[in-house]
Amino acid sequence: MALAQAPVSASAPRRQSAAGNKLGRKLRRLVGRAVTDYGMIEEGDRVMACLSGGKDSYTLLDMLLSLRRNAPVRFEVVAVNLDQKQPGFPADVLPRYLTTLGVEHHIVQEDTYSIVKRLTPEGKTYCPVCSRLRRGVLYNFATRIGATKIALGHHADDAVETLFLNMFHGGRMKAMPPKLVSDDGRHVVIRPLCHVRERDIERWSRHRGHPIIPCDLCGSQENLEREVIKGMLRQWDAATPGRVDNIARALRHVTPSHLADSALMDFKALRRQVRTLAAADVTAATSTDDRIRADA
């Protein structure tokens, strides 16, 4: 016997739409703040939004297009996807989706997949080789299309995860900067989602119905160190809400004098400072002593 389905409330779509609109306003506010805080986008910029087909890069594109409509400066947005020739990659998904958005877009075809598989030793992660190859291809393409900024979809959780990865495995306090210049000085890379939590991106992507394309390189490997860190952050979010947000906030409020990096703080030059009273200070102190004695 078939089970009867509970009737769907007529107000449910309206509630979902209202929640989606509220979330969209939150994301736009956070992205707008990041763009302003770090001077990410300027008048006349041509911003290349790098799309992988994942929730982060789709959200990045949504926010950039929204900012473009309302920002006080004029800038262009160009969506670029690198087709790495992964087996089974649905090459039609992104072009079709981007065409419906009416945004200028390019699909760069480069077989980095075979190179990554060949150069990565057995048991090692694909990410180091893959990221270097992707970066090189995308930097070159940015030059070809005259992009002045390269936008990536890394978010606050990515920055915190990278911080712990560098601390645990590299002995360095280093995360993901919201804005950087490439080593050759030719490209400016920006991360407009740097204030946004991953959980909000997941909610937004579901609301928008993004056509997610899984990665068969990094997404195919188990027991990655980054996944271990992700699990740790998820536990903290559940047990101590606000802890991960505070860590992300701490990346923006650093006190070098209370760390131990002599390149940032000249600890050797620190000396005890003895203040010598000036004549005016002595006069004021004497006057105060006289008043105290008079009151007594």
The per-residue pLDDT for 289 is 58
CA distances from 118 to 53, 114, 123, 131, 221 (A): 24, 6, 13, 15, 16
pLDDT at 6: 43
Instruction: Express each pLDDT in 237-252 by its tens digit.
Output: 999 999 999 999 999 9
Residue 9 has pLDDT above 60, yes or no: no
Q: What does the pLDDT average to over 174-178?
A: 96
Place 204 in a pLDDT band, splitting at 50, 70 and 90.
very high
Burial of 267 (0-12, 13-18, 19+ CB in 10 A): exposed
Q: What residue spans define the domains of the chain?
A: 16-258
3-state secondary structure of 108: strand
Q: Does 168 have pLDDT greater than 50?
A: yes
User: Three-class SS of residue 240?
Assistant: coil
Give the SS3 label for residue 219: helix
Residue 89 in this model has a pLDDT that exceeds 80: yes
DSSP one-letter string for 31-78: HHHHHHHTT---TT-EEEEEE-SSHHHHHHHHHHHHHHHH-SS--EEE
Q: Does residue 151 contact residue 61 with C-beta atoms inside 8 Å? A: no
- pTM, full prediction: 0.83
Do residues 229 and 165 touch, judged by C-beta distance below 8 A? yes
Stretch 134-160: mean pLDDT: 95
Terminal Cα distance for the chain, rounded: 98
Which of the pair, 90 or 130, is modelled with greater confidence?
90
Sheet holding 188-190, edge to edge: 105-109, 76-83, 46-51, 149-151, 188-190, 179-181
Which tokens is 268 given? Answer: 């050797």
For the chain, how many residues are written? 296
Judged by DSSP in three states, 270 sits in coil
Of 108, 62, 53, 50, residue with least CA distance to 204 = 62
CA distance 163 to 248: 9
Distances (CA, A) of 173 to 34, 161, 169, 260, 262: 22, 12, 11, 11, 14
The CATH number for 16-258, chosen from 3.40.50.620, 1.10.3470.10, 3.30.365.10, 1.10.260.40, is 3.40.50.620
Which band of pLDDT confidence, cut at 50, 70 and 90, is reported for residue 283? Answer: low
- Average pLDDT taken over every residue of the chain: 87
- For residue 152, give Cα distances in angstroms to 15, 20, 178, 190: 31, 23, 10, 6
